[in-house]
Amino acid sequence: MGNVALRIDGREYVDWKSVSLSRHLDESADSFTFRAGPSIGARSIPARTLCEILEGGDTFCTGRIEVPHWTLSTRALEYRGRSLIGDLVTWDAEPGTYPNLSLLQLAETLAEPFRIVVMADDDGGKPIPLVTVEPGEKVIAVLEREARPKGYLLVSDPVGMLRLMRPGMNHAHDVLEPPDVEEMELEIDGQQRPGVVRVRNELAWSSDAFGTDAQHEASVSDATTRAARQLIITSEVPGSAEDARDRALYEMATRLAKSVGFHVTVPSWRQSNGDPWEPGLLVTCRCEWMELDTEMLISDAEYTAGAEEKYGAVLTLKPPEAYLYGDPRLWGKTKRARKTLSGRPAAPRQGTPLDDPWWEDAGREDGEGAE
Q: Would 117 be classed as within a structural domain?
A: yes
The domain boundary, picked from 83, 98, 113, lies at 83
Co-location of 95 and 155 in the same domain: yes
Helix axes 139-147, 103-111, angle to 10 degrees: 180
- 117 vs 368, higher pLDDT: 117
Q: Would 66 be classed as within a structural domain?
A: yes
CA distances to 27, 163, 209 from 235, in Å: 21, 24, 17
Which of 62-66, 92-96, 169-173, 365-369 is least confident? Answer: 365-369
The domain boundary, picked from 83, 108, 130, lies at 83
Q: Would 145 be classed as within a structural domain?
A: yes
Co-location of 106 and 58 in the same domain: no
Co-location of 79 and 92 in the same domain: no
pLDDT of residue 247: 79
pLDDT of residue 214: 62
The domain boundary, picked from 49, 83, 117, lies at 83
Domain count, the chain: 2
**Residues in CB range of 208: below 8 A, 6 or more apart:** none
Model pLDDT for residues 220-259, shown as the tens digit of each residue: 887 777 778 889 888 777 777 777 887 788 788 788 888 8
Domain range enclosing 48: 4-83
DSSP 223-281: TTSBTTSEEEEE-SS---HHHHHHHHHHHHHHHHHHTEEEEEEESSSB-TTSPBP-TT-
Torsion region of 9: left, alpha or beta (phi above 0 gives left; psi -120 to 50 gives alpha): left
Q: 71: how many CB neighbours lie within 10 A of its CB? A: 9
184 - beta bridge partners? 264
Q: Would 120 be classed as within a structural domain?
A: yes
Co-location of 107 and 78 in the same domain: no
Report the distance separating Cα 39 and Cα 42, nearest Å. 10
pLDDT of residue 42: 64
Single-letter amino acid code for the residue at 90? T
Report the distance separating Cα 118 and Cα 108, nearest Å. 6
Q: Would 261 be classed as within a structural domain?
A: no
Q: Would 251 be classed as within a structural domain?
A: no
What CATH number corresponds to the domain at position 15? 2.30.300.10
Model pLDDT for residues 286-305, shown as the tens digit of each residue: 999 988 899 999 999 999 99
